[in-house]
Structure 1
Amino acid sequence: MANPVTIGSNCIAKIGSKFFLISEIEAKTTGVEIDPIFAVRTTTEQARRLIRAGVMRCKIQNTVPRPTRGKEVELKGVLFANGQIFSVFDVENSTDVAVLVRINVAQAQRLISKGARIIKVIRRPFK
């Protein structure tokens, strides 16, 4: 039987001068589907080593990704990190990636008022 808890999209984001591990935890079994995204602050050295080990860099862009045939796009929430704000999307096609889209305060407030979650950020790096 497969483990019902896995890691989904994950990547390293450099936001300003700080690095964050963006990771989706997926818990799926009959009648259950839980898949939040978290951000964990890393040191520069941790980010460098994770990237060298194969963790992708996050895609940061100014436009919302669009679903197409074979590509699903799901808004996961709003991320406040290092003085910047992003809407975070889980994009699934042949891969599972997180895409961060730069937004302003008004856009963030609008998304949150419509039910978007605020993505939890663990702000102190693990050593």
Structure 2
Amino acid sequence: MAQPITIGANSIAKIRNRFFLIVEVEAKTTGVEIDPVFGVRTTAQQAAALLRAGVMRTIFATSDPKPSPKKKVELKGVLFANGRIFKVFDVENSTDVSVLVRINLVTAQKLIRSGVRIIKVYRKPF
């Protein structure tokens, strides 16, 4: 039987001069599917070590990713990080990766009012 809790998309994002680990926690079992995304501030040294260990870099795009027969796209939430605002998408094809699309405050507020979640960011590095 598969583990009920796993790590999904995970990547390192450099936003301005700060680094963030963007990670999806997937909890799945009969009748339950929970998959929030979190941001965790890291130091430059932590980010470099994670990248050397094989963690991917977060993808920054200028437009929303489009689903296709081989690609599933899910809007996970709105991320406020280091003075920037992004829509965060989970994109699953041969890999599972986060894609960030920069937006303005008006767009973010509109999305939040429509029910899109705010992604929690742990702002102090561990």
SS of residue matched to 1:12 = strand
What corresponds to 1:103 in structure 2? 103
SS of residue matched to 2:118 = coil
What corresponds to 1:119 in structure 2? 119
What corresponds to 1:82 in structure 2? 82
How many residue pairs match? The answer is 126
- Normalising by structure 1, report the TM-score: 0.98
Structure 2 residue runs of 5 or longer lacking an equivalent are none
Large movers: runs of 4+ above 3 Å: none
What corresponds to 1:3 in structure 2? 3
Q: CA RMSD in A?
A: 0.5
1:62 Cα deviation from its structure 2 partner? 1.4
Deviations 1:34-60 (A, max 9, x none): 000000000000000000000000001
Letter aligned with residue 109 of structure 1: Q
Structure 1 residue runs of 5 or longer lacking an equivalent are none
Percent of counterpart pairs with the same letter?
68
- Normalising by structure 2, report the TM-score: 0.99
Please say if 1:64 is aligned against 2:64: yes
Deviations 1:55-93 (A, max 9, x none): 000001111000011111000000000000000000011
SS of residue matched to 2:67 = coil
